[in-house]
């Protein structure tokens, strides 16, 4: 008997790896994307919102609504990553123009309203960028916390060095205060840090397998990955690009691909040299997050390639 699909809200700052995550999600019957909410991160608003709309046009899924979210982090100025993703955020593909507009409701309100209208433990939030919208929603309406089944967040770095500073991963670095709000909210939280996403490297043979599908979606996805992989290949002297954000969606589809352990996780919000550093201190309190550290990379890439190839 097949399970009913897991209903998710994807909170995102596309970003080529966000784009791959969105495409995998809309191609997969195991998940139902209730909404896409956008947050400034890899590039500013309104680019991230336009990118989300264009990706849905590419996939022929204009039925999924896009909600524009926060323009900047809670306390710090916005720090963006055009040096990784290019000026558009999704360089490497010529995406179609959006065919529908953004919804007039703000992303934070959409998250609050969706949660309040749900039974307890029914909403899964998949943040793939800085946690600004999620923290704002929790601050605006703490009654949403029991409604949330799980927050699945790509962010942080534990034993692995940071990718933005020596100790901080990008999404944690951009809005560490929002990460603090989420970590201390009591919400069930699973974190996909660089420790696991740096094991999810998309090698040339995977990109070729994707391009072999020769559909407009597969061509665009392969083009984006070929652009985006250049930064990590140069920086880390590796042969492929880490598929950070698709790990979250793959976990929704098949959690057996991943493994991790519960810990008490904190984030540095005070010291400028180490701000955004996520760390474990199990002596400081009960476990507040499951930290994912391993992935079955071959099965993960089979899934990514097959799902995008099906669009």
Cβ neighbours for 141, distance < 8 A, ≥ 6 positions apart: 112, 115, 116
* Residue 257: CB minimum distance to Ca ion, A: 19
Residue closer to Ca ion by CB (options 51, 185) is 51
C-alpha closest to that of 171 among 136, 130, 134, 132:
130
Active-site residue, 244 included:
yes
Q: Where do the DSSP E strands lie in the chain? A: 6-12, 31-38, 66-68, 123-127, 148-154, 189-192, 201-202, 241-242, 258-263, 265-267, 278-280, 289-295
- Which region among 17-25, 188-196, 212-220, 289-297 touches Ca ion (by CB under 5 A)? 17-25
Task: Based on the shown chain and the rule CB under 6 A, indicate whether residue 200 belongs to the binding site for ligand BDR.
Answer: no
Task: Based on the shown chain and the rule CB under 6 A, indicate whether residue 86 belongs to the binding site for ligand BDR.
Answer: no
Task: Based on the shown chain and the rule CB under 6 A, indicate whether residue 170 belongs to the binding site for ligand BDR.
Answer: yes
Q: How many Å separate Cα 267 from the centre of its chain?
A: 18
Cβ neighbours for 151, distance < 8 A, ≥ 6 positions apart: 124, 125, 126, 127, 134, 182, 187, 188, 189, 190
Task: Based on the shown chain and the rule CB under 5 A, indicate whether residue 98 belongs to the binding site for Ca ion.
Answer: no
Copy the structure tokens of residue 26.
């809309």
* Residue 15: CB minimum distance to ligand BDR, A: 4
Task: Based on the shown chain and the rule CB under 6 A, indicate whether residue 171 belongs to the binding site for ligand BDR.
Answer: yes
Q: Using the rule CB under 5 A, which residue among 18, 50, 150, 268 binds Ca ion?
A: 18
Task: Based on the shown chain and the rule CB under 6 A, indicate whether residue 42 belongs to the binding site for ligand BDR.
Answer: yes
Q: How far apart are CA 280 and CA 92, in angstroms?
A: 37
Residues 233-272 that bind ligand BDR (CB under 6 A): 244-245
- Which region among 30-38, 72-80, 167-175, 254-262 touches ligand BDR (by CB under 6 A)? 167-175
DSSP-derived secondary structure for 174-224? H-HHHHHHHHTS---EEEE-HHHHTT-EE-HHHHHHHHTT-SHHHHHHHHH
Q: Using the rule CB under 5 A, which residue among 9, 11, 15, 201 binds Ca ion?
A: 15
Q: How many Å separate Cα 303 from the centre of its chain?
A: 17
Task: Based on the shown chain and the rule CB under 6 A, indicate whether residue 163 belongs to the binding site for ligand BDR.
Answer: yes
Catalytic residue among 85, 198, 213, 244: 244
Task: Based on the shown chain and the rule CB under 5 A, indicate whether residue 242 belongs to the binding site for Ca ion.
Answer: no
Cβ neighbours for 2, distance < 8 A, ≥ 6 positions apart: none
Q: Using the rule CB under 5 A, which residue among 98, 129, 193, 276 binds Ca ion?
A: 129
Selection from ligand BDR, Ca ion, none that 167 binds (CB < 5 to 8 A by kind) is: none
Judged by the rule CB under 6 A, the positions of this chain that interact with ligand BDR are 15, 17-18, 42, 81, 84, 128-129, 154, 163, 169-171, 244-245
Catalytically active residues are 244
């Amino acid at each position: 008997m097949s399970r009913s699909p897991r209903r998710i809200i994807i909170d995102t700052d596309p970003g080529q790896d966000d784009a791959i995550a969105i495409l995998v999600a809309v191609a997969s019957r195991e998940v139902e994307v209730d909404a896409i909410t956008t947050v400034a991160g890899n590039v500013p608003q309104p680019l991230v919102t336009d990118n989300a709309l264009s990706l849905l046009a590419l996939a022929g899924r204009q039925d999924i609504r896009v909600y524009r979210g926060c323009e900047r982090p809670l306390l710090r100025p916005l720090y963006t990553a055009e040096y990784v993703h290019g000026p558009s955020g999704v360089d490497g593909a010529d995406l179609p123009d959006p065919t529908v507009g953004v919804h007039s409701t703000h992303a934070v309100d959409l998250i609050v309203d969706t949660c309040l209208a749900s039974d307890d433990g029914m909403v899964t939030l998949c943040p793939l960028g800085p946690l600004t919208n999620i923290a704002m929603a929790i601050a605006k309406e703490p009654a949403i916390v029991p409604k949330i089944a799980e927050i699945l967040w790509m962010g942080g770095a534990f034993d692995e060095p940071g990718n933005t500073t020596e100790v901080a991963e990008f999404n944690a670095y951009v809005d560490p205060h929002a990460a603090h709000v989420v970590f201390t909210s009591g919400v069930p939280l699973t974190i996909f840090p660089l420790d696991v996403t740096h094991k999810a490297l998309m090698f040339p043979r995977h990109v070729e397998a994707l391009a072999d599908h020769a559909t407009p979606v597969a061509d665009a996805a392969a083009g984006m990955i070929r652009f985006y992989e250049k930064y990590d290949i140069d920086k880390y002297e590796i042969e492929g690009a880490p598929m950070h954000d698709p790990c979250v969606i793959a976990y929704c589809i098949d959690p057996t691909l991943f493994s991790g352990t519960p810990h008490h996780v904190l984030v540095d919000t005070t010291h400028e040299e180490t701000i955004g550093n996520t760390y474990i201190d199990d002596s400081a309190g009960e476990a507040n997050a499951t930290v994912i550290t391993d992935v079955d990379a071959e099965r993960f890439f089979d899934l990514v390639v097959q799902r995008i190839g099906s669009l």
